[in-house]
Structure 1
């Protein structure tokens, strides 16, 4: 295959892996997360680090204090080091609804993932991740979602968040319309 075409395919596979991982983290889905990391991977988030098993146990089921998350991904800059190794920097904006004992609060973190990828048996996955924090903001007391949005009440149960029983899972599978 033409080298430039293969490089484009590899970069898209890496971007897709980063997006699938963020989706898995927001849903606390061990299966989605596991499909994005090699079992021998390592991570360092500054506040926690270790091997993949430690990472998975940290994220799934997640801390009771963290009720909901949303990871918004920005640009991913990728350098292909060889046919089977790459480095990627992805900007991330992560929202967390947390309760540290004083009621729900909304917080956000801006940072970058520095991922090392390996391609094994034709598949790109993360073999190492370092989280860089650029900023953090406590937005204060969380909105009361039981009242809807901007004064409008919710009209169905599927507007309750993602961490548990995510509506989009059934939607993607075709079970829900």
Structure 2
């Protein structure tokens, strides 16, 4: 029975850590400060190279940077976790890919970045969250945007931010079948 209980605790920890990682990314993309902060313990240390600080300082910095962009999207890749259940700690490496729409001299450009988060997680008061994070950029490129065709297709549902994205409003048009 002990092995089953330990396995359940391990799976629960993995689920909760993965949720913290996903909350971090979704909070960034939707510019949802509370959601992004929920991924950290209040005394966490975050270092992205341009700023090192606690979760509030970092989140405000990151969201301020992203708010100045036209839009952005982050995708998660592999997540490697090593969990010490007895100590209530874990380490991880999280791969990510980011796209940012910029505007230089009224010309839309795309900034692509790929990198990794090197993390330490801890369980405090039953909550697994990020305790320490360092962001490493593996590569980046900044190119002229090539998706102007989207602006010519009004039927396409383009994303929004700051509470205006469909995933946040769920504002289904009346009379739809819910497909």
Residue number in structure 2 paired with 1:112: 116
Pairwise mapping of residues 78-117 of structure 1 onto structure 2 (< 5 A)?
Answer: 78-83=81-86, 84-117=88-121
> Offset of 1:108 from its aligned partner?
0.8
TM-score by length of 1: 0.84
Conserved? CA contact 2:103–2:109, under 8 Å: yes
Conserved? CA contact 2:48–2:135, under 8 Å: yes
Residue number in structure 1 paired with 2:155: 155
Q: 1:145 to 1:49 in 2, by over 3 A?
A: farther
> Offset of 1:8 from its aligned partner?
1.4
Residue number in structure 1 paired with 2:19: 16
Conserved? CA contact 2:79–2:95, under 8 Å: yes
Conserved? CA contact 1:67–1:163, under 8 Å: no
Q: Can you list the C-alpha shifts for 1:110-158, whole angstroms capped at 9, x where unaligned?
A: 111111111111111111110111111223235336624xxxx1226xx
Q: SS at 2:116's partner residue?
A: strand
Unmatched 5+ stretches in structure 2 = 173-177
CA distance in 2, matches of 1:161, 1:139: 21
CA distance in 1, matches of 2:160, 2:129: 24
Tell me whether 25-34 or 55-64 shows the greater mean CA deviation.
55-64
Pairwise mapping of residues 24-35 of structure 1 onto structure 2 (< 5 A)?
Answer: 24-35=27-38
> Offset of 1:71 from its aligned partner?
0.7
TM-score by length of 2: 0.83
Please tell me whether Structure 1 or Structure 2 has the larger radius of gyration of its CA atoms.
2
Q: Can you list the C-alpha shifts for 1:46-69, whole angstroms capped at 9, x where unaligned?
A: 122222221121123445542211
Q: SS at 2:70's partner residue?
A: strand
Q: 1:62 to 1:133 in 2, by over 3 A?
A: closer
Q: SS at 1:8's partner residue?
A: helix
Q: 1:40 to 1:145 in 2, by over 3 A?
A: farther
